[in-house]
Amino acid sequence: MTSIRNLFAVAICMTSLGLLAFAQGAKSATPPRITTAEAKNHIGELVTVCGTAIDSKVGDPGLAGHGKPVTIDLDEPQPKPVFYFVTFGAKPGGFKEAQETIAAFQGKQVCVTGNIEAGVGSVPFIFALDRTKIKAQAASK
């Protein structure tokens, strides 16, 4: 009877380790890269959305330890944005740090990775608290 219990325990451990390894493999896979126009079809999915940062605004109030939220529209400005992401200044602070964040992305090709959510008016967005998930390149001329 003890050997059956041991065999059962080993089988459960092996199954758990296999599932854990599979989950780690799935997390390390590169998310698909999509355009801002395609984002509305990927709500709830982990993707990388790329477009040109053309409009931005600083929100109020700030989030403790992060500063003021900065919303950046990609490809289309207000009043009819197609996609945006929300991030914070590079360091906790006020309006100055938020303006530095805007300057880092404005007019550049930007790719942001994260889970797409449906925002106000069903405009898709990514909440990018981790700034390492945002990559900017100089705009092509």
Q: For 53-93, what is each residue's pLDDT tens digit?
A: 999 988 876 666 667 889 999 999 988 999 999 998 766 66
| Cα distance between residue 22 and residue 29, in whole Å | 11
> 19 or 134: which carries more pLDDT confidence?
134
Nearest 5°: the CA angle 93, 85, 47 is 130
**Tokens linked to 47:** 């993707």
d(CA 95, CA 62): 10
pLDDT at residue 50 is higher than 70: yes
Model confidence at 7: pLDDT above 70: no
pTM over 0.75: no
Domain ranges of the chain: 1-29, 33-137
State the residue for tokens 């942001």: 112
The architecture of the domain spanning 33-137 is Beta Barrel (2.40)
Query: Would you state the pLDDT for residue 100?
Result: 82
Reply yes or no on whether the pLDDT at 118 is more than 90: yes
The per-residue pLDDT for 131 is 85
Instruction: Answer for the pair 73, 83: CB distance below 8 angstroms, yes or no.
Output: yes
Collect all residues with Cβ–Cβ distance below 8 Å to 70 and sequence separation of at least 6. Answer: 56, 57, 58, 59, 86, 87, 88, 89, 98, 101, 102
Residue with the larger pLDDT of the pair 105 and 98: 105
127 or 92: which leads in pLDDT = 127
Alpha-carbon span 51 to 92, nearest angstrom: 26
The pLDDT, as a whole number, for residue 41 is 96
pLDDT of residue 27: 55
